């Protein structure tokens, strides 16, 4: 981890992830190599964030992010 004023720590599915300050959900998805938001749901600190807000929702240091990916099956 970098101890840098331009970075902060968040937890994505309970895994520590370093990301830049002022990063948005869309930025975080790119950082964890999710290129298509199709079938994805995001919760920040147990609150679901609608996909329409991912480009504007600014993450905060120590946020707990849950990424859920829908799967098909029977």
Checking if the pLDDT of 1 tops 50, the result is no
- The predicted model gives 4-27 an average pLDDT of 92
Quickly tell me which residue has 């990301």 as its tokens.
19
**What does the alpha-carbon distance between residue 5 and residue 41 come to, in Å, rounded to a whole number?**
29
- pLDDT by residue (tens digit) across 20-52? 999 999 999 999 999 888 899 999 999 999 999
Q: Which CATH number fits domain 7-69: 3.10.20.30, 1.10.486.10, 3.40.1580.10, 3.20.20.70?
A: 3.10.20.30
Q: Where are the beta strands (DSSP E) in 1-74?
A: 7-12, 15-20, 40-44, 47-49, 64-69
Closest-CA residue to 30 (of 49, 12, 5): 12
pLDDT at 74: 58
Quickly tell me which residue has 């938001």 as its tokens.
37
Q: Domain residues of the chain, as ranges? A: 7-69
pLDDT at 5: 67
Residue scoring higher pLDDT (3 or 58) = 58
pTM, two decimal places: 0.85
């Amino acid at each position: 981890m970098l101890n840098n004023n331009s970075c902060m720590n968040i937890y994505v599915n309970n895994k520590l992830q370093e990301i830049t300050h002022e990063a948005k959900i869309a930025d975080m998805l790119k950082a964890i190599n999710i290129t298509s938001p199709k079938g994805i749901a995001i919760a920040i600190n147990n609150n679901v964030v609608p996909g329409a807000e991912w480009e504007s929702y600014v993450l905060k240091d120590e946020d707990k992010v849950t990424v859920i990916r829908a799967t098909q099956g029977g």
